[in-house]
Structure 1
């Protein structure tokens, strides 16, 4: 069956949830969450039928929030003092997640048993088409990153899919895929916290801790943005990965981590703007 045919199935009554979220920099004065995009510096989400991440974000609605949002849930803080700030790398993360029609948008909370119907790649974008009996149509996941990634899949694998889209002011995306028999495949985090709120059960394959006071804040249009680093330890190897950087941790066949965004916003000047945003892709075994 062709990808085009499967996509046509996916689009019937599809809820395609578009969110490429980074620390919100293009926030509207209206406040809210009906539409938003996400870049490396701001979170924008759209509660329509498609979820896609880009590099710019804006959040609009009719309900205003305060200038600062408490986003401490799931984000551990480490203050290491005046360490050096590493320069920005060339890491980018873009994705789209398409699922069937859902009963209770805009929030999504799915825990599904699926089969990988097809995988396709052009060397940059990985397209996974999942047949999940609980959905009316197939789920389609497109992910492209720089540096490129490769997934050890051939088709036919049994895959568990954990997918959370949590709002309403802006949308936080959490996706985890595990392959039966081999374990963790990939995890995508795109939101104001490294973990969703406690009412959503979600396990990260690695422990990530935000590290502060490494880089001087610079103006980004909605305030002073401080680049952060994420610290983790895998298979005895400790790594500190800065915003817009990539690392493979835990040996040659270790876990790959792309940090598309990790930032804290000081002196927020825009409404409905989170004070932190993280965009992270984790591929590989994780902590086991």
Structure 2
């Protein structure tokens, strides 16, 4: 097909959007509603996954040195922790001296009589380590146990909680993929049916073009351009609507979390995801516009 012909057909498809205002509006409303729901689903997926991953990052390896550890043994462990942070294995850590451990014990114990006779020298040095990758915990703990100054009985890490959170992330991802797939199928069917009404209203026009010798792609191309434009416009409007709706939802949930004193939950800012959501909307809108137009015209080409 010549470039001049393509330009002519593209121009015709663009005009058809305006000429068939009622059907174009119906198709646009269908795409807008579908992409709006899709955008909110994607934002829910991102927020849940982000908060679950944040919970994994909050898990710490807690360990203590032996009470009778020598200065050299303490320095060996301190050097290992610093090297691990420099290499990226450790994200951050907190050091608890004997004096701090002693003061913390005094605060935590309800009965002061239990602290009688105890001094900071009776307490051990402790570390609270946050790993960059929580899945490296087994390897990190195994290396800790090689140090003579570390009391291996006092190395703790919530491994079961890590596995539970990882399992939740996997299950949620599977559910999210299923929901998105269902939304895609439903949206294509809805948009195809809506565009089919547009094509049905112009079936005589298609039949006349076939009778005068126009090939299938010559007839189909303006409808595809029409579907692309409606899909693109629906994607842009959906993006604006999603950003506004998400802002209201985010403010409302933050107010709710503060009122019932839930801490640790963080909703992702829309600006961080704006470009990605826009790209998904545009790709999805244009694709289903093309597929819907293609499927709808095909039936009327068999004259």
- Which TM bucket (shorter chain)? under 0.3
- Name the TM-score, length of structure 1 as normaliser: 0.20
Q: TM-score, normalised by structure 2?
A: 0.19
- Which structure carries more helix by proportion? 2
Larger radius of gyration: 2
